[in-house]
Structure 1
Amino acid sequence: MRLSLLDQARVMSGSTAVQALKNAEELAILADELGYHRMWMAEHHGIDVVASSAPEISIAHLATKTKNLRLGTGGVMMMHYSPLKLAEVFKTLSAYAPGRIDFGVGRAPGGDGRAIYALSEGREPQMHNMYEKLEQALQYMNDEVPNDYPYNKTIAMPSQVALPEAWLLGSSGNSAVQAGRMGIGYSFAQFFNGSMTQDVLDSYRRNFKPTAFLDKPNILVTYMVTTAETKEEAEFEALPYDISQLWLVNGQIKPPLTPEEAQQYPLTEMDKMTIQEFRRRQMHLVGDVKEIAAHLQEEQAVYNFDEAMIMSVPHSQEKRLNVYRLLARELL
């Protein structure tokens, strides 16, 4: 199984956004040393607990700090950008780091309404043409000129560079068919709502058409994981994230608690049931490392995906790094 990682550069309580980005750099260097396949940076706006707002900048920097690790966006939120600009950015990245750049795109806004309108300079944001925009960006990347105005009047530079890997992100299955038809990779965010099914992945495979970007289907599944040598330690480290998800369900975004603070947090019986539902739907995998490794291998055997991507957010940077060390020990 290929093993990769997703980072949002989360800002922990008592820390700073600058430190969160430095932590991402440290994580990339470790992942490169451990043999992880790729690392993606997410794109979020208007949220003071997430520092990853410009993933294309982050991966350019991380590419200079690593040797073999693929770097990409998981994903860049394409509604905010022109297809030409998307192509120019990722062609430039690929020129500097050929064979190591991933163009991962999502259809979500990555922020609330205030951020969306600020990014669109107060204009009504365009949300209806995502797949057309992606097709145009892919054409530009492949040194083609799209057919439609205004994109048929110019080219995307630099030209004749190695194609980045192209991926479409999804969390409900709606984009699986489109990813297959476009001949690009499909990334399913199991941690987002836990709705992965065999039908979703099979719909991608059935509709897949080989392209210059990809000659056969390629699926990765992203899991939120908290693990440690023992189940007890994993549960201790996992609770702050579970509580932050409870807040999110209620429309609240707050700095995450420390594990010690989380132990004292007054959870209601309904809160506890909701957390158990998160776990049941595999939106958060929690357990000792051998248990988690076995579960990921079982998931791959059932769903036949190509790669597991791990996101992990213990409060301590050292604990987070250790999650990836432990998984590498068991799976790489």
Structure 2
Amino acid sequence: MTKQIKLSVLDQSPIRKGVTPEQAVQETISLAKHTDQLGYHRYWVAEHHNTGLLAGSTPEVLIAHLAGQTQNLRFGSGGIMMPNHSTLKVAENFRMLEALFPGRIDLGMGRAPGTDRLTASVLNPSNQFSEQDFIEQLHDLINYFHDRGVPGTPQSKVRAIPQVSTVPAMWLLSSSGQSGLFAAHFGMAFSYAHFINPYGGAQSVQMYRQRFKPSEDLAQPQVNVALFVFCSEDEEKLKQHRAVMEHRFLQFEKGAPVFPIGYEDVKDIEYTQAELDRIAYNSKRVITGTPDQIKAKLTTLADEYDVDELMIVTITEEFEDRLRSYELLAEVFGMKA
């Protein structure tokens, strides 16, 4: 029997060409309401800094607004970049969200800064980009959520306010296996970023499951996979979408200035052989197709990872195409509004 695949949303609040950041945030609100009505499972918003491409810098603020505008979706961070933040403040932000929306909040966390090193050093001047610091943050966070402060330290008397009876679901986000091992050790859920690194993810998920230790918050391993997806009934739109995404990936890899682009900006570019090789390498980060094609592609990927939840990241040149893509996915997967 084929397992039922849940679909969720990862929204980075992309700033389209010719659109202001204010409009990008309004599009996030519209998309959240739209996917709530379509029957999507959860909706995560991202943390990025010092970029003209993405407007989402404060997930905790967006989550509070979006959850209040919707009925059914779980809301969370995809993710909070822990090295940028005080652990206590993260605990308090998400305890407040739990107080407002009990049972609907996910705290997704990452090790990366979500920006360049200079900006990261401004966000948190004491940031050492240390793996050990990250591990200690996770340990302290769990203790704050369970009103234990930080045992064995002067901070043992510190409590995360408000003290509420529920704990947000804790997820670690990663595009490699390392954070999967941390998630397994701490008994947290694991989200693999296929849209960043489409190679080795199934092995990372398998290792997480094998090494998972049940915790007071999660008894069984829980996994989802995030990937770029675009579904359209128009083959020409699918071709143009891939062309734009291919160019965007190259610009990121080169460290070149990045700004919103459209198909007209890239359609006549002739790539070198080295660039074509990178385009081929990155091609697995994006899955596109018509409604007839997309279900088989996504089901195959879910089977490869052995997961029953996919987090869909969709960035399009026209907002209406983005809304329609999520509609088509809901239809082909038989989601109930």
Identify the residue that residue 80 of structure 1 maps to in structure 2: 84
Identify the residue that residue 13 of structure 2 maps to in structure 1: 9
Moved over 4 A (4+): none
Q: CA–CA distance in 2 between the matches of 1:211 and 1:306?
A: 21
1:291 aligns with 2:293: yes
Unaligned runs of 5+ in 1: none
Query: What code does the residue aligned with 1:291 have?
Result: Q
Q: Deviations over 1:296-319 (max 9, x none)?
A: 111222321131001010111111
Unaligned runs of 5+ in 2: none
Match of 1:216 among 217, 220, 228: 220
Structure 1 SS opposite 2:285: coil
Normalised by the size of structure 1, how large is the TM-score?
0.94
Query: What code does the residue aligned with 1:177 have?
Result: L
1:23 aligns with 2:20: no
Match of 2:242 among 222, 235, 238: 238
Shift of 1:148: 4.5
Query: What code does the residue aligned with 1:330 have?
Result: V
Structure 2 SS opposite 1:191: coil
Query: What code does the residue aligned with 2:123 have?
Result: L
Q: CA–CA distance in 2 between the matches of 1:193 and 1:257?
A: 22
Structure 1 SS opposite 2:178: coil
1:167 aligns with 2:171: yes
Match of 1:53 among 57, 73, 78: 57
Q: CA–CA distance in 2 between the matches of 1:2 and 1:319?
A: 21
Q: Is the 8 A contact 2:84 2:127 kept in 1?
A: no
Q: CA–CA distance in 2 between the matches of 1:126 and 1:300?
A: 32
Shift of 1:269: 4.2
Identify the residue that residue 176 of structure 1 maps to in structure 2: 180
Shift of 1:131: 1.5
Shift of 1:163: 1.4
Q: CA–CA distance in 2 between the matches of 1:150 and 1:318?
A: 54
Q: CA–CA distance in 1 between the matches of 2:63 and 2:107?
A: 11
Query: What code does the residue aligned with 1:234 have?
Result: L
Shift of 1:236: 1.5
Percentage of pairs with the same residue:
35
* Structure 1 residues 197 and 117: CA distance shift in structure 2, 3 A: closer
Normalised by the size of structure 2, how large is the TM-score?
0.93
Q: CA–CA distance in 2 between the matches of 1:196 and 1:23?
A: 33
1:153 aligns with 2:157: yes
Shift of 1:20: 0.8
Deviation larger for 162-171 or 135-144: 135-144
Query: What code does the residue aligned with 1:127 have?
Result: S
1:127 aligns with 2:130: yes
Q: CA–CA distance in 2 between the matches of 1:111 and 1:214?
A: 31
Say what the alpha-carbon RMSD is for the aligned residues.
1.6
Shift of 1:103: 0.4
Shift of 1:73: 0.4
* Structure 1 residues 22 and 201: CA distance shift in structure 2, 3 A: same
